[in-house]
A and B are shown apart, each in its own frame.
Chain A
Amino acid sequence: MANPNFRERPDRELERLSDEELIEYIVGARDAGRLDACNRAGAILVHGYWDIAVARCRLKVPPADAEDVAGQAVVSAITTFAFAGGSIGEFRGWLHTIVDRRIADYHRARERKSPPEALPETGGDEDAVWGVEPWEEGEAGAIDVQSVVDQAFAELSETHQRVVELYGFEDLSAVDAAAQIPDMTEANVHQIYTRFRARLRELLAEAGEGDTPP
């Protein structure tokens, strides 16, 4: 039965909704049988992350397959998030977790020398199939590989993390980054970020990364 309480919103209003509110709206529109509204909200959400997901995939899979992998990840992330009804947390983090898993699936598939049915000892690769989404009871044991950046970042204090966020990833100048954190100086920002980058290179070396010939 159609949901009589669903209220269609104009696009300019949809664009101001958070990711989680947009997904709630998409589900509401679907339940109300308002497929046009469902698609409009879906377009805003998908467009918002499309280039980001594709760029991440281009870093890890061949260019010809990057959009396919990204597309599967985006659809899977939104549908599973919608199905879980908000129990997953923040959508953006969830999307990137699913992108990571689809990239891993992609490489696992290519590592196989024969089709999956020829691996009787595994009974196929169900984790790769279903992506071991944590909302699925009994499949909560998925271990996501932590990136070396996340690892180096996690070793920092909260204040130093903020420095790295502002100076490294928001691309603020050291002066502007320092201005946003109490008792922080421009010199300190440089020092903290330089140490972070040194640690990052250390972790990459430990992982045997970066050994590709010049």
Chain B
Amino acid sequence: MTDVDSLLSEFIERQRSGGDADPTELVERVEGMDRRELEELIDAYLRRAPRREFDAAAYRESGAPQVVDALSRSLTGSAGLWPALLPRLRERARLRRAELVERLARALGAADRRAKVEAYYHKMEQGLLPADGVSDRVLGALGEIVGASAETLRRAGAAIAPPAGAGPAEQAAFARTALPDPAYEGMESPTAPTGPADHPADAWDEVDELFRGGGRR
């Protein structure tokens, strides 16, 4: 049996037993062509591997709960694939969220209201801001920054319908399941106006209009 064969068998055994399924330590034991061959064989094995049985303890200790959280936001939020797409675009553009917000606020002529733009953008990434309320101007500016068209962003936001039966209480319950982002603890998100008495003239401004006022502005 070659090194490649025995290392492949060792990986398969580890993966099946639910142990450490990190292949990097094993592939580093061989070099050159053997390494590439082993990588390809492990990859081919993984493509064929069946779904693992659910294990609540292993699930909790893994990174999977965060993924389920993002999945929930995509499926049940009001912003389609934005929770999955926007962080990826930002990462691809090699921008930290603070840098992106800075540029977005400037592009929208709202550099002096950066905190409000930041709160809205945070909600966009979390899937908590209805996509159809976000204006083309915001999507165009955001697209310029991350390298996507406004149309692509619009499409991604609308790709999945919000839950038809989810009422306010269920939406709130859902929102609580989202993992809190420490960077935003204590930050107040802008609220929608419910009536003139609740909102003095200076509360609802152009930034609110851009992010919540409707799609074609």
Binding site for B on A (CB under 8 A): 1-3, 11, 15, 19, 26-27, 30-36, 38-39, 42-52, 54-56, 58-59, 63, 67-68, 70-72, 74-76, 78-80, 82-83, 92, 96, 102, 105, 109, 115-117, 119, 123-126, 128-130, 147-150, 153, 165, 168-169, 171, 197, 200-201, 204-205, 209-214
Contact = CB atoms under 8 A, between A and B. Distances in A.
B36 interface: yes
A105 B92 contact: yes
B81 interface: yes
Q: Is the interface of A mostly helix, strand, loop or mixed?
A: helix
Given A33-B163, A51-B52, A149 B89 contact: no
What 8 A-B pairs have minimum CB-CB distances, sorted nearest first?
A116-B147, A2-B165, A33-B165, A210-B33, A48-B51, A149-B44, A124-B147, A210-B36
Given A51-B52, A67-B63, A123-B149, A204 B68 contact: no
A39 B9 contact: no
Interface stretch (B17-25, B181-189, B194-202): B17-25
Q: Which of A46, A130, A201, A214 has the most CB of B within 10 A?
A: A46
B75 interface: yes
Contacts of A105: 88, 92
Contact of A117 (B62, B63, B145): B145
Contacts of B157: none
Which of under 10, 10 to 19, 20 to 34, or 35 or more describes the interface residues of B?
35 or more
A30 B36 CA distance: 43
B92 A109 contact: yes
Contacts of A210: 32-37
A11 B54 CA distance: 9
A165 B41 CA distance: 11
Contact of B68 (A46, A123, A153, A211): A46
Contacts of A76: 81, 84-85
B160 A126 contact: no
A78 B72 CA distance: 11
